[in-house]
Amino acid sequence: MNPLRKPAVHFVALGLVLYLAKAAVYPLESSLPAQTVIVIEAARVEELRRDWLARSGSLPSERGLEALVRSEVDDRLLIEEARRRGLHRSDPVVQRRLLQNMKFLGDAAGSSAATQLDEAHRLGMDRSDLVVRRRLVQLLQLEAYGRARVPEPSEAELETYLALHSDRFMQPARLRLHHVYFSRDGRGAAAEADARAALVRIVAKANVSGSADDEGDPFMFPRDMASRSERELAKTFGAEFAGEVFELPIGGWSGPVASAYGEHLVFVHSRSPAALPPLGVVRREVFESLLAERGKRALRETLRELRGDYTVRIEGRAAPDSSIQDGG
């Protein structure tokens, strides 16, 4: 079948036209009147203080209270901006919440969803409901993250990010080892002496990994551990063992080394050093991590701009501008 069948082409084209027409007929929500003054009432400041007391058990310091107020201002800026864009009316989660509230109030039964929503707005529910407020803040935060995805990062940016965060992306050093286990459960205090005696026998035979096959006790995980990092070894044997085996000589039997479960004789075959992987291998992780960082910056930028657009008045306190700095 020819994939370029005309109806579908027409459909998309028509859709595009409809979309553009919609944009032309319904002007963007930005023409809604904005509340350009944000007031943090004295009562709200007091509430923040008490809230902190309830949560942490002590009153906030002066600087602490300032930070609480600043955080409140940030939220209010994002909420007002979200409202200016009409999200308090158009977002489905907000709608759902308001309808739920109306249903709970119980006096809206019978009227249409749209009427109930109007009533909810008239009651100021969209301003007072905590879930609606959190949702509006979240939407603007996510919008900032989304904006930060354009333009997409260049190769050079990705390379730089990888180099700057080498500690996170570094591939750990690895050991290939063979071990023989002497159980503390089974042998008690003799485990260590038994291991030493076995070491003498093994080395007398030949100092190769295979010469220990008939020694020791069963262990749930393999005797032959191909390429394990310290963290992986710690998961199986405990942290102490994992640290110690990285110090052992290569190419011969050594030990005993104590694990969480007993004593082990260990033959280290090889050790590969830690290395930073090429970008190609960790590209997606680097790409998304870089964009996440950009997103946080974009959010701070948004807040800075909004502070310019709105007048913030904090009742009963000095003008905030000197104390409200960019944090985060």
Subset of 270-289 contacting another protein (CB under 8 A): 277, 281-285, 287-289
Alpha-carbon distance of 163 to 228, in angstroms, equals 24
Nearer to another protein, 115 or 311 (CB): 115
Nearest residue to 73 via CA among 327, 328, 324: 324
67 makes contact with another protein (CB under 8 A): yes
The CB density around residue 45, as the number of other CB atoms within 10 Å, is 18
Q: How far is the CB of 74 from another protein (least distance, A)?
A: 10
Any contact of residue 79 with another protein (CB under 8 A)?
no
> Nearer to another protein by C-beta: 237 or 253?
237
- What are the phi and psi torsion angles at 28 (to 5°)? -60, 150
Q: How far is the CB of 309 from another protein (least distance, A)?
A: 20
Asked if 34 touches another protein (CB under 8 A), the answer is no
Candidates 24, 28, 31, 92; binder of another protein (CB under 8 A) is 92
Q: What single-letter amino acid sits at 89?
A: R
- In the range 112-141, which residues lie near another protein by CB under 8 A? 112-114, 117, 130-131, 134-135, 138-139
- Is residue 210 a contact residue for another protein (CB under 8 A)? no
Separation between Cα atoms, residue 9 and residue 193, nearest integer Å: 81
Distance CA 192, CA 207 (A): 20
Site for another protein in 214-243 (CB under 8 A): 217-222, 226-229, 231-232, 234-240
Whether the CB-CB separation of 96 and 113 falls below 8 Å is answered with: no
- Measured CA to CA, the distance from residue 202 to residue 99 in angstroms comes to 77
Q: How far is the CB of 140 from another protein (least distance, A)?
A: 9
